[in-house]
Amino acid sequence: MATTYLVTISGPDRVGVGAELFGALSQLSESATLADVAQITIRGSLVLCAEVTVNDQVTVSAIEAALAARHIVANGITAVVAPVISNSESDGRRLLVTLLAPTISASQLEGVFGAIATSGATCERIVHLATYPVDCYELVVRGSDQVALRERVTSVAQQLGLDIAVQRAGLHRRSKHLVVMDADSTLLQDEVIDLLADECGCAEEVSKITEAAMAGEIDFAESLRRRVALLAGLPVSVLDDVRAKIRLTPGARTLLRTLRRLGYVPAVVSGGFVEVLAPLLRELDVTHFEANHLEIVDGALTGQLTGDIVDRAGKARALRRFAEEVGVPLEQTVAVGDGANDIDMLSVAGLGIAFNAKPVVREHADAALSVPYLDAVLYFLGISREEIDTP
């Protein structure tokens, strides 16, 4: 009969501790098997755990003697050997819970961990993904009732002012190789059509229609036609002027640069206009994009559009097409948007992220960000600040 022990080494970190531990465990018996290993070091303090399964002839005393022979317990380092007792309440599949805010306090973590406990789940690991420009923790949580766990943790996190994403754990999270973003008010700080409206003196009227459309009060296609009609007669040279005024969202360049460096494919699908966006996206090295086309005759906007309108359904179709072109299934895609016309795209993607979005959009998303930094999307992919800052 076999018994599993958890060997915990803790104390001041020093060179060679890992080699000493595994050397000791390798000498226990020919039948000994290493089931799991975990380590964390915080400001020079080490906690190193190893789960080892041995036959009944190997006792706690024998394991302690093996550790002593390797001189592990010295200079402030201690070792604890204890049998592993199965806890049926914590059995189940793992979930990844990502928490994000400008700063995260102990009281906020108390609330989240309380929700985990009342769901009958346990936290197996905590990773501090980032300390700037936001605070971000990733928790590996195991529980048998994942639906209740997800609902309770999400509800508590939102009450505490934390952005949260809850995903199934596993390598599939890092396999989300296509990241599709909305342009206006997501990749960009601005609504391009509002900038065009400023040039023709109809900003107030266009802004009201834009707001109603983003809140889902007016069909996007109809609202777009109304707004574009107000631009009739605007000289095409204005498009260059507007493009020069566009401001990228903080973190946008970092997000795109990091995605490409790590092998992801960034894409943009927008209810805006190709004539304005295409040169900017080429500069940003985004080759997959879809947007609406303005009709231009004799050097001026006619107030009409050409081709199919990229509306709510059109954005979802574009995401599907991009996924096919890249060669990834939909569950390996991420969509990021802020408006009602992004809802279908967020729902189709494997991970839909609402970015500083209206409540109606957040309700349809898997995760939500309320911080102003677009590169915070990377944390929901498990990418740490250290990886982001690596040249």
Per domain, the residue ranges of the chain are: 2-83, 88-169, 178-389
DSSP class of residue 188 equals B
Would you call 182 a catalytic residue per the annotation?
yes
Q: What pLDDT, on a 0 to 100 scale, did the predictor assign at position 87?
A: 53
Q: What pLDDT, on a 0 to 100 scale, did the predictor assign at position 1?
A: 74
Which residue among 182, 311, 342, 375 is the active-site one?
182
The C-alpha atoms of residue 291 and residue 273 are separated, in whole angstroms, by: 5
Query: Would you state the CATH architecture of domain 178-389?
Result: 3-Layer(aba) Sandwich (3.40)
Residues lower than pLDDT 50 in the chain: 88-90
Which residue among 135, 163, 184, 338 is the active-site one?
184
**Cis omega (within 30 of 0) on the bond before 250?**
no
Contact predicate 4/83, CB 8 Å: yes
The C-alpha atoms of residue 256 and residue 288 are separated, in whole angstroms, by: 12
Instruction: Give me the CATH code for the 88-169 domain, please.
Output: 3.30.70.260
H-type alpha helices, 27-137: 60-69, 106-118
H-type alpha helices, the chain: 17-26, 60-69, 106-118, 146-159, 192-200, 203-214, 220-229, 238-245, 252-261, 274-283, 312-326, 343-348, 359-362, 385-389
- Say how many residues make up the chain: 391
Q: What pLDDT, on a 0 to 100 scale, did the predictor assign at position 90?
A: 45
Q: What pLDDT, on a 0 to 100 scale, did the predictor assign at position 89?
A: 46
178-389 shares the fold of 2-83? no
CATH superfamily of this structure's domain 2-83: ACT domain (3.30.70.260)
* CB neighbour class for 195 (10 Å; exposed up to 12, middle 13-18, buried from 19): buried
Would you call 184 a catalytic residue per the annotation?
yes
